[in-house]
Amino acid sequence: MTDKLYYICRYAPLELFAGFGTQTERLDPAPLNFDCADGCSHPNLCGFGKAVIEDVAARGIKRLLLTDCCDVCRRLLDVLERSLGMDFIYLLPLPHKAGNAETKLLAADLKRLAAAWTRFSGQAFDYRKALEACSENRAQPERDVPHVSLAGAHGGSLLFETVKERFKLPVTDDTCTGARVLAAPQSCADEESFFAEYAAALLNQTHPCMRMYGSLGTLPEDANARGVVFHTVKFCDYYSFEYHNIKNSKGAPILKIETDCTPQSSGQLRTRLDAFAETLDAGVKRVEKTGSNGSARYTAGVDSGSTSTDAVVMDANRRVVGSSIIPTGAGAAAGAAKALAEALAMAGLGREDLAEIVTTGYGRENIGMTNDSVTEITCHARGAHFLCPDARTVIDIGGQDSKVIRLDERGHVVNFVMNDKCAAGTGRFLELMARTLEMPLEKMGRLGLEWKNEIAISSMCTVFAESEVVSLIANNTQSADIIHGLNMAVAGKTASLAKRLGGGPRFIMTGGVAQNPGVVKALEEKLGSRIYVPKEAQLCGAIGAALIALEGQDGDA
Ligand code: SF4
Ligand code: SF4
């Protein structure tokens, strides 16, 4: 337990509490689970709300200042008061705008808060001390140079550090609990004028939160921002709506990420951040085409996926001279070493002939054969452009995830979306359904084209879809019709990702599911467009990695 007063929002009047000599600290929750919160609150409370409950319970916090930002903050007041027995918990009303009337309202509410704190703590307020705290230097030098802005909902140190680690540019924390820069009140002769000026300063922070700029439909101006990572929280309606308002605003490219304020899914988060970083900052690297003795140089790309590991060896003239596709098995490193050895053997080469190796895929950072790893988003884009230069949308359905990538005419990533949260619409989904139908995947791929009657599979959740399939089998429905229903369900989910991204022809399909003609046909129907499926579809990521090893991320495409 501590005497500090904790707060959750950057509109909390910290300087006011400095006027009491009270120490304040921002709650920075990153719990591993929501065991306590699930037991005492509604399951649909946003991830941040649950994380606050967990943190308050785990650390025995008894003094908390909430700001009345949304329903969740009001529910937090009820739950924490009732379930965790707080000594001091206060919900500060917060206006949505920074006009004269709102400033007056906030000034009156700040006075009420000060009176409540005096009653609770017995401490007296000294407005001169508060003024002193207002004049502390809160300069943000990162904002004056090219940087990446982490914006959106409550970020916290965990997210901020994760984002900082993935970008070469400095990152500013502009989330609703991030940077807090207020202009110091200038001419306060007494306590009364302090409250009026301080309320105005709080409401007019230089980088306002969504609640203050929410009606503008655009992010606050940030001339040096080269990219924006926009954070939304699971079950938070506000920031998801806000993203829809601002996503088309002119300015820096935007990547939306969602977390539940726990460290879960940090692997997928890193892939998204890395892919975005690669689109902002394509490195230029070029391998010498001949060695010192004049011999041709080779590069390799290794794609370590959750289901298969693919390797490609490429010569200096961009010809694939060796390749291999093997099951990943239990260890990513062993699978990668085996796939590369097989590709080298096919090319009649040894490791010493390779000038450069680039790894990609979920296991890319755990393979240990090189320090050069690039996300599968960039590698698939590069490989797809190589295999089909006029492709503008890549559809990659792999073992555990599916992604849609929009390309420009040089094969650079314009934007991408990923479904990596569950098996719905992925190769794994089809694999499990093939098992339920008791047939190999290859047969399922062929049989899906022979359907006669339209069957709708209503659920994309693997568990529910499986029971639907079992019922259809029990009703003697033809296997071909069931498979077609499943193919249409996968195609519908993927087509909606493509639609969300604004992807258009020419479409190219990569990844293992591209080998399934039933899914490809269903997807063509949903998209209303032909899809090009190269014979190297499954090697596309490894080909992209080998090309990047040869030419750098910009390449000479
Ligand atoms: S949205 Fe604004 S008011 Fe709400 S918690 Fe974040 S900073 Fe505070
Ligand atoms: S994440 Fe959204 S719902 Fe949750 S407290 Fe913040 S603004 Fe409210």
The predicted-structure confidence for 105-153, as pLDDT tens digits, reads as follows 999 999 999 999 999 999 999 999 999 998 876 677 788 899 999 988 8
Residue 287 has pLDDT above 70, yes or no: no
427-448 mean pLDDT: 81
- Using only the alpha carbons of the chain, give its radius of gyration: 28
DSSP string, 312-358: EEEETTS-EEEEEEEE--S-HHHHHHHHHHHHHHHHT--GGGEEEEE
Closest-lying ligand 2 atom to the alpha carbon of residue 46: 4
pLDDT in tens, 335-388: 899 999 999 999 999 999 999 999 998 888 777 777 688 988 999 999 999 999
Distance between Cα 71 and ligand 2 center (Å): 8
Residue 501 has pLDDT above 50, yes or no: yes
Whether residue 28 sits in one domain with residue 119: yes
Q: How far apart are CA 557 and CA 509, in angstroms?
A: 19
> What are the structure tokens assigned to 397, written together?
């359905």
pLDDT in tens, 188-222: 889 999 999 999 999 988 778 877 766 556 777 78
Q: Give the residue from 156, 211, 162 showing the smallest Cα distance to 178.
A: 156
Whether residue 406 sits in one domain with residue 502: yes
Domain range enclosing 449: 393-533
Question: Which ligand number lies closest to the CA of residue 8?
Answer: 1
Is 546 part of any domain? no
Q: Using pLDDT thresholds of 50, 70 and 90, give the confidence band for residue 423.
A: low
Range scoring the smallest mean pLDDT among 304-318, 320-334, 428-442? 428-442
Query: Strand order of the sheet with strand 354-360?
Result: 320-327, 308-315, 298-304, 354-360
Specify the CATH number for the domain of residue 23.
3.40.50.11890
Q: How far apart are CA 231 and CA 174, in angstroms?
A: 10
Is 118 part of any domain? yes
End-to-end CA distance of the chain: 61
pLDDT in tens, 523-543: 999 999 999 999 999 999 999
Query: What percent of the chain has a predicted confidence (pLDDT) above 90?
Result: 42
CB contact set of 334 (below 8 Å; sequence gap of 6+)? none
Whether residue 168 sits in one domain with residue 82: no
Q: How far apart are CA 415 and CA 292, in angstroms?
A: 40
Bridge partners (DSSP) listed for residue 309: 304, 326
Whether residue 240 sits in one domain with residue 369: no
Phi-psi region of 21 (alpha: psi -120 to 50; beta: other; left: phi over 0): left
Specify the CATH number for the domain of residue 483.
3.30.420.40
pLDDT value, residue 371 = 67
Whether residue 526 sits in one domain with residue 403: yes
Is 284 part of any domain? no
Whether residue 355 sits in one domain with residue 475: no
What's 259-277 look like in SS3? ECCCCCCHHHHHHHHHHHH
Q: Give the residue from 316, 311, 406, 323 showing the smallest Cα distance to 363.
A: 311
Whether residue 336 sits in one domain with residue 264: no
Query: Residue 150 is inside which H or E element, if any?
Result: strand 147-152
Whether residue 514 sits in one domain with residue 405: yes
Is 244 part of any domain? yes
Q: How far apart are CA 303 and CA 367, in angstroms?
A: 10
Query: What percent of the chain has a predicted confidence (pLDDT) above 70?
Result: 93
Displacement of CA 146 from its chain's centroid (Å): 22
Is 507 part of any domain? yes
Residue 283 has pLDDT above 70, yes or no: no
Beta strands in 478-542 (DSSP E): 507-510, 531-532
Q: Choose one of 279, 308, 332: the last residue of a domain.
A: 279
Whether residue 403 sits in one domain with residue 309: no
pLDDT value, residue 554 = 61
The answer, yes or no, to whether any atom of ligand 1 lies below 6 A from the CB of 176, is yes
Is 321 part of any domain? yes
DSSP string, 1-47: --SPEEE-STTS-HHHHHTTT--EEE-----S--HHHHHHS-TTS-H
Whether residue 305 sits in one domain with residue 244: no
Total number of domains in the chain: 4
Whether residue 120 sits in one domain with residue 63: yes
Residue 293 has pLDDT above 80, yes or no: no
Q: Give how far Cα 205 sits from Cα of 64, 136, 380, Å.
A: 22, 14, 42
pLDDT in tens, 458-473: 777 777 777 788 888 8
Pocket-testing residue among 10, 154, 258, ligand 2, by greatest number of atoms within 8 A of Cβ: 154
CA atoms within 13 A on the CB side of 90: 22
Is 491 part of any domain? yes
CB contact set of 426 (below 8 Å; sequence gap of 6+)? 397, 398, 399, 400, 401, 402, 419, 513
Q: Give the residue from 430, 411, 422, 417 showing the smallest Cα distance to 499.
A: 417
Range scoring the smallest mean pLDDT among 12-21, 44-53, 492-501? 492-501
Q: Which residues surround ligand 2 with Cβ inside 6 Å?
A: 46, 48-49, 69-70, 72-73, 153-154, 233, 236, 238-239
Q: What is the dihedral of CA 279, 146, 370, 284, to 10 degrees?
A: 70
Whether residue 412 sits in one domain with residue 354: no
246-267 mean pLDDT: 80
Average pLDDT of the chain, as a whole number: 86
Distance between Cα 450 and ligand 2 center (Å): 49
> What are the structure tokens assigned to 333, written together?
């490193």
Is 446 part of any domain? yes
Q: Using pLDDT thresholds of 50, 70 and 90, give the confidence band for residue 284.
A: very low
